[in-house]
Amino acid sequence: MGQASTIGLDLAKRVFQAHGADASGRMVFRKRLTRGKLLEFFAAQPPCTVAMEACAGAHHWARELGKLGHTVRLIPPAYVKPYVKRQKNDMADAEAICEAAQRPSMRFVPVKSEQQQASALVFRARDLLVRQRTQCLNALRGHLSEYGYVVPQGITHAGALIEHVEDPSTSLPESARTVLAVLIATFRALEAQVAELDTEITRRAKADPVARRLMTIPGVGPIAATAITALVPAPEGFRTGRDFAAWLGLTPLQKSSGGKQKLGAVSKRGERTIRRLLILGASAVIRWAAQRRAQAGSWLARMLARKPKMLVTVALANKKARIVWALLVKGGVYRAPAMTA
């Protein structure tokens, strides 16, 4: 039996599947491994390339296997799927990962350190709390609509909902008021927790010189700047700003054939947290431009004059993404382009 030069590892919670192949791609072994035996098995293997899908737990195992002397490659799951032959099972997945890792044009995900993952944790936690806050507010508004009290959507109308419940002169039954008070207490607790995380994010933004430079870009605030520094891998890995924007999912889907260019909506692939923050920041810039009128002849003014507002918002987010990449790679701060007469 030959020596494996590449091992495809299908990750799981308890039972893992390994597929070893030599330099020519020929199978050397298939091995079923329990979680407790995984590191012991790879410690006995000579240094080789170990490939895994970039999924839950992948960065942890990549760091552990790297300590054993192996070269670890993480592959986006979407790039592995075309190599799965017929039926899908753990053995087929491990073989597909191994085969995909041997392709010379394959793209890999950089392995994150523990500190990088910890830096990203605050945004994951904040997103969860914001979703729960929205769910709580929607439940409160929905229940009140059953009693004939209708309020528009949005966090800005939360005060009106709470005031209606807490007003003893309203016609709400006391039994309903008691239950709604529980939702209000939950909403207020979530508000306080989100505010606490916002304070932590702002503190990190002020302490990070890269985040301070990114905040010179219009529409990029402390939350977006800190998210970029925490979630973006090495920016030098992107050849151009367009590649970075495509990684964020801000470029159009392309379904071209026969020399005909067919572009659709934005792909929405990649890092959704940063994409959402850039779009929110772009919408704030457009609202500001609408109130104060964008400078005549500027890119934004020309776009708003001939394109729908939402399309301009996404286009502006794409433009900001390219500027972010330029600042990350080349340094410096943002300078507004000079207007020509």
Q: What is the pLDDT of residue 260?
A: 83
Mean pLDDT (the chain, rounded): 88
Average pLDDT over residues 305-311: 87
Percentage of residues in the chain with pLDDT exceeding 70? 96
Q: What pLDDT score does 306 carry?
A: 86
Checking if the pLDDT of 223 tops 50, the result is yes
Which of 260, 232, 255 is closest to 321 using CA atoms? 232
**CA 124 – CA 112 distance, rounded (Å):** 16
- CA 314, 237, 82, 259 torsion-angle sign: positive
First to last CA, the chain: 75
Tens of pLDDT along 133-164?
999 999 999 999 998 888 888 888 999 899 98
The CA dihedral of 257, 258, 260, 261, to the nearest 10 degrees, is 30
pLDDT of 341 over the 70 cut:
no
Q: What is the pLDDT of residue 50?
A: 95
Q: Which helix (H) or strand (E) holds 30?
A: strand 27-34
Q: Which residue has the higher pLDDT, 334 or 339?
A: 334
Give the list of residues 6+ apart from residue 125 with CB closer than 8 angstroms, or none.
197
Nearest to 266 by CA among 280, 279, 286, 252: 252
Cα–Cα nearest to 163, from 144, 146, 179, 147: 144
Provide CB contacts within 8 A for 103, sequence distance 6+. none
Query: In CATH, which of 3.40.1360.10, 3.30.420.140, 3.40.50.300, 3.60.150.10 is domain 6-101?
Result: 3.30.420.140
State residue 338's pLDDT score. 64
Closest C-alpha among 79, 72, 78, 69 to residue 47: 69
124: left (phi over 0), alpha (psi -120 to 50) or beta: alpha
Residues 6+ apart with CB under 8 A from 53: 10, 11, 74, 75, 76, 77, 80, 93, 97
Q: Would the pLDDT of 85 be above 90?
A: no
pLDDT in tens, 168-213: 888 888 899 999 999 999 999 999 999 999 999 999 888 889 999 9
pLDDT for 119 beyond 90: no
- Nearest to 220, CA basis, from 310, 322, 330: 322
For residue 339, pLDDT beyond 70: no
CA-nearest of 217, 206, 209 to 321 is 217
Q: Reply yes or no on whether the pLDDT at 297 is more than 70.
A: no
pLDDT above 80: residue 337 = no
Q: What is the average pLDDT across 101-110?
A: 90
Q: How many CA atoms lie within 13 A of 52 on its CB side?
A: 26
Question: If you average pLDDT over residues 70-74, what whole number do you get?
Answer: 94
pTM for the whole thing? 0.79
Mean pLDDT value across residues 286-291: 81
Among 12-26, 100-114, 250-264, which stretch is predicted with the lowest mean pLDDT? 250-264
